[in-house]
Structure 1
Amino acid sequence: MWVLPAPLVEALAMSAVRFRLPLVVTADTDLLEELLRIAAAAGTQVDVAPDAVAARARWSGAPLVVVGADQAAGCVHARLPRRQRVVLAGCGPAPGFASAESLGAEYVLRLPEAEEWLLRRFGALFGDGSGRVIAVLGGRGGAGASVLAGALAVTAARDGRRALLVDGDPFGGGIELMFGWEQVDGLRWPALASTEGALDPVALVRSLPARGDLVMVSFDRGAPLSLPPAAMAAVLDAGRRARDVVVVDLPRRLDDAAVAALQGADHTLLVVPAELRATAAAGQVAKAVALHCASASVVVRGPAPGKLSAAEVAEAVGFPLAGLLESEPGLVRSLERGDAPASGGRGPLASLCRRVLADVFASSSSAVAA
């Protein structure tokens, strides 16, 4: 039998102090690793007890109890109270049904095969697990859409939201370059482009380049890849189920994959420099976007050499104004160094991203309430 290191048990137990968490009863480190991974993908932590003695005080109050196959007999012998929402789980051979009946377990799970079911079960404890998808594109070339998309994902992760950044522009050079992630291990679009059906959200997140709460799907520096719309739709759907925020950076000239992304987005941001020709070009892009996205707004990027106001640009484009992005000295230089946009959490870009994210989540809450 595996024994958990005492510091790990103590740290996991302390995480449950502020609010009730699902209780996991196991001393099997392989099983615990699987359960922690699934819980993290669902956006929660778990309270861990290595045996029935440690579990007794937390047994009745937990919203869900997952008992490892290694501790099923111990929990039965300890005569823990019968309760609802008990799951018996194990790796390898499925746990015995006799043990489940004695324990009063409602479900018997074999991992990793049943991880999708458990992901949804964990997610249901703290909401529906439905993330927000934000599409970003430029009103003209060089408008700064990729910078805004990256900054939105970075800001979401800094604020404690699980974020997925999706590079939807096959000729953009790879958004990972902006982050200095070229050497970070994980799958890129070439490995996902053949996807036609649904993706396992847990497996997808686990396979992607990641740092903290931010994961990314990007193009590599290989041959240009025509991205199938089915692959884009599958990645966004899995991201919506596994993350709080999905930000997708799209090309100005809409291909089939970009159209699929717009159709799946909760909101689209069109980035427009405060210049006359840029505004005229953005008006044409906005007409194409409006065919596929029900909710869109414009971000106006300064400076304005001709003194066009942000309100005037938004009116000409035909979308509501989401905000004004003022000039930020040193931003281009920091991006060239591989510093992620808005990584410091300060400045006009970070402030704009916080406002945009707050608005997207507020509108989502209003829609659910209605």
Structure 2
Amino acid sequence: MTHDRPLVVVNDETLVDEILRLAAAVGCTVQRAPDLVAARPHWARAPLVLIDEQTLGGELPARPGILLVTKGPPALETWQRVFEAGVEKVVSLPDGEPVLVSTLADIAEGPGMPGGLVVGVVGGRGGAGASVLAAAIGLVACRQGDALLIDCDPLGGGVDLLLGAEGSEGLRWPGILVGGGRISLPRLAEALPALRHRGGRLPFVSCAREGDGPSGKAIASVVEAGRRAGHTVICDLPRHLGPEAEVVLERADLAVLVVPAEVRACAAARRVAAKMAERTGRIGLVVRGPAPGGLCPEHAAQAVGAPLLTSMAPERQLDRALESGQFEPRPRGPLDKAARLVLAEARAGLQMSQAAVEERV
């Protein structure tokens, strides 16, 4: 229906082109009117009205949600007319482009969907199995609802290779032009590869074997888009915890640290846990077997200094499956059980946080 689309009453063709470009970038379809007379049938019912300074000079019918778009900062006399006309917001391009993108994206996507969840997974040492656990969590999550797996480690070899989906068509990080700011997940998801799994579908954003890895701003944009869309977003994070990992930890409902049941691995993981704690207080430890020296999970958690989520026995034939590109954790096997527990813990923590906010309100 036309009244569900923003109404553009702009005469400056340069501004019109910019508005249409930004609207297309977030999947927002607009309707245009050449003047206020032609706009009258849609004026009251459109979710947003965009005008320029020429339109501002006319008689604007009163309504909320009028946005003035200008080229450069408005003149003083323009501000005076803004207040008189009841304009709600002024956006000056190009500096105000992020504001306009965010406003249009809000309309395109509608209100945020409930259920959005962010889980970050970090290895306590190299080869700890963080990528494998992140992928397993993604597979469980996609069977339970909408999910998105994000590869944040450009030196990890690519999560598409781990999933056995390196031949799947779709963009990897080097081809995703996201510099930061608001993006639309439905638009992005159309370009992403996805893995079909037991009736579910897991779209993923993978690093490539060549090219640049993602920036922290790009990762933050994709994570936020997934959460707004109500997805469970699982992020495979690098151990060095640079900006790419920090933006996820700051947003994570649960940050999972994976450590083998080995004394030296726990010593390394303790330093990683301390760095994680600088960005989030929601850390849980997964201890992975075997334990060559008999180190029990509880003692490993004490050594690392992080609360124990669960321990995980070795997954039979996992290495062979990964080498052959057939990553398929056994139903009710160690990986599947650990992934289910991590998701349950993350959701329980999110519910407790939301309840605490509601009590304060």
Task: Give a deviation string over 1:119-173, Cα, whole Å, max 9, x none.
Answer: 224x5xxxx435111110111110100000000010011123x111111111101
Q: Distance in 2 between matches of 1:92 and 1:258?
A: 36
| Contact 1:138-1:145 at 8 Å conserved across structures | yes
Return closer, same or farther for 1:115/1:256 CA change in 2, 3 Å cut-off. Answer: closer
Q: Which residue pairs with 2:337 in the alignment?
A: 351
TM-score normalised by L of structure 1: 0.67
| Contact 2:124-2:266 at 8 Å conserved across structures | yes
Identity level (%):
41
1:156 aligns with 2:146: no
Give the letter for the 2:202 counterpart: L
Q: Which residue pairs with 2:208 in the alignment?
A: 220
Q: Which residue pairs with 1:205 in the alignment?
A: 189
Match of 2:323 among 336, 346, 351: 336
Quote how far apart the aligned CAs of 1:108 are.
Answer: 8.7
| Contact 2:162-2:325 at 8 Å conserved across structures | yes
Match of 2:271 among 284, 291, 295: 284
Give the letter for the 2:249 counterpart: L
| Contact 1:272-1:298 at 8 Å conserved across structures | yes
Quote how far apart the aligned CAs of 1:304 are.
Answer: 0.8
Give the letter for the 2:189 counterpart: V
SS at 2:292's partner residue?
Answer: coil
Match of 1:365 among 351, 354, 359: 351
Task: Give a deviation string over 1:272-291, Cα, whole Å, max 9, x none.
Answer: 00011111111111111111
1:195 aligns with 2:183: no
Counting matched residue pairs gives 274
Q: Which residue pairs with 2:226 in the alignment?
A: 239
Task: Give a deviation string over 1:16-64, Cα, whole Å, max 9, x none.
Answer: xxxxxxxxxx9xxxx9xxxxxxxxxxxxxxxxxxxxxxxxxxxxxxxxx
| Contact 2:173-2:213 at 8 Å conserved across structures | no
Q: Which residue pairs with 2:158 in the alignment?
A: 174
Gaps of 5+ in 1: 1-25, 32-64, 68-89
Gaps of 5+ in 2: 6-27, 50-102, 357-361
Task: Give a deviation string over 1:199-246, Cα, whole Å, max 9, x none.
Answer: 1222122221123431111111214x2532111211111121124211
1:139 aligns with 2:139: no
Return closer, same or farther for 1:227/1:92 CA change in 2, 3 Å cut-off. Answer: closer
Return closer, same or farther for 1:257/1:92 CA change in 2, 3 Å cut-off. Answer: closer
Quote how far apart the aligned CAs of 1:192 are.
Answer: 2.8
Quote how far apart the aligned CAs of 1:92 are.
Answer: 7.9
Q: Which residue pairs with 1:262 in the alignment?
A: 249
Give the letter for the 2:173 counterpart: W
Q: Which residue pairs with 1:46 in the alignment?
A: none
Q: Distance in 2 between matches of 1:155 and 1:190?
A: 27
Q: Which residue pairs with 1:87 in the alignment?
A: none
Match of 1:120 among 89, 96, 110: 110
Aligned-residue CA RMSD (Å) = 2.9
Q: Distance in 2 between matches of 1:329 and 1:147?
A: 13
Quote how far apart the aligned CAs of 1:98 are.
Answer: 7.6
Q: Which residue pairs with 1:293 in the alignment?
A: 280
| Contact 1:269-1:296 at 8 Å conserved across structures | yes
| Contact 1:184-1:209 at 8 Å conserved across structures | yes
1:308 aligns with 2:295: yes
Give the letter for the 2:119 counterpart: I
Give the letter for the 2:175 counterpart: A
Q: Distance in 2 between matches of 1:91 and 1:257?
A: 32
Return closer, same or farther for 1:291/1:93 CA change in 2, 3 Å cut-off. Answer: closer
